[in-house]
């Protein structure tokens, strides 16, 4: 024979039930938007890793400005893929070749508004950059937002991915 639990019937005033229902509805409707607003505030970032990646970002900037393909080669993973502002996809070899033969040339790269997110052995860098330079003879000077992804393997941080998007002034079409 099974024991059955019985709960006493309770009477809830209609206004209390309505108020409880409204609170539940507000939690369901407003909860997700409150969570979305909290996304830009990441978990505590390991300071040692952040300092390391900041240093690597500076080394990468200098390598691009001086077309130092030896440094660039050491910083890019063998399976690196970059997506540039014109939508072109480039491998490590294609990226290095563009700097070696002068098709990619920068005279200015000023980065600002940088945010780093550390996820174990992967770091995502999101930043803005004011650049002056050319690619394939075309002027690419302007303001960009980019994402660069680093991954640590065997104790070494390498760039595995990059994507840049041109930023347009307010009122101009994208």
* pLDDT, tens digit (0-9, with 9 covering 90-100), for 34-44: 444 444 555 67
**Unique residue bearing structure tokens 């990059």:** 162
The percent of residues above 70 in pLDDT, for the chain, comes to 72
**Cα–Cα distance list, 33 to 20, 64, 89 (Å):** 21, 40, 35
Given a cut of 70, is residue 67 above it in pLDDT?
A: yes
Q: How much is the pLDDT for 45?
A: 83
Residues of the chain above pLDDT 90, percent: 68
Return d(Cα 124, Cα 115) in angstroms, integer: 8
**Mean per-residue pLDDT for 60-81?**
98
pLDDT score at 20 = 43
Strands 76-83 and 122-135, how do they pair?
unpaired
Average pLDDT of the segment spanning 136-156: 96
> Is 3's pLDDT higher than 60?
no
Which of 92-96, 112-116, 167-171 comes out lowest in average pLDDT? 167-171
Q: Is the pTM of this model over 0.85?
A: no
Ramachandran area for residue 133 (φ above 0: left; ψ -120 to 50: alpha; else beta):
left
**CATH number of 47-166, picked from 2.160.20.60, 3.10.105.10, 3.10.450.50, 2.40.50.140:** 3.10.450.50
pLDDT at 26 exceeding the cut of 70: no
């Amino acid at each position: 024979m099974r024991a059955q639990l019985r709960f006493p019937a309770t009477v809830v005033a209609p206004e209390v039930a309505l108020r409880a229902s409204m609170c539940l509805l507000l939690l369901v409707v407003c909860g997700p938007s409150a969570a979305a607003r909290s996304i830009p505030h990441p978990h505590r970032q390991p300071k040692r890793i952040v300092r390391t990646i900041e240093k690597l970002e500076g080394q990468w900037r200098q390598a691009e400005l001086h077309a130092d393909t030896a440094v660039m080669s050491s910083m890019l993973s063998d399976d690196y893929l970059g997506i540039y502002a014109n939508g072109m996809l480039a491998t490590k070899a294609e990226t290095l070749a563009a700097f070696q033969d002068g098709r990619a040339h920068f005279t200015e790269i000023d980065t600002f508004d940088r945010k780093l997110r550390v996820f174990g052995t992967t770091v995502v860098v999101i930043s803005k950059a004011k650049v002056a330079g050319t690619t394939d003879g075309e002027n690419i000077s302007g303001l960009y937002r980019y994402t660069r992804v680093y991954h640590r393997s065997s104790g070494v941080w390498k760039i595995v991915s990059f994507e840049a998007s041109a930023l347009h002034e307010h009122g101009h079409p994208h």
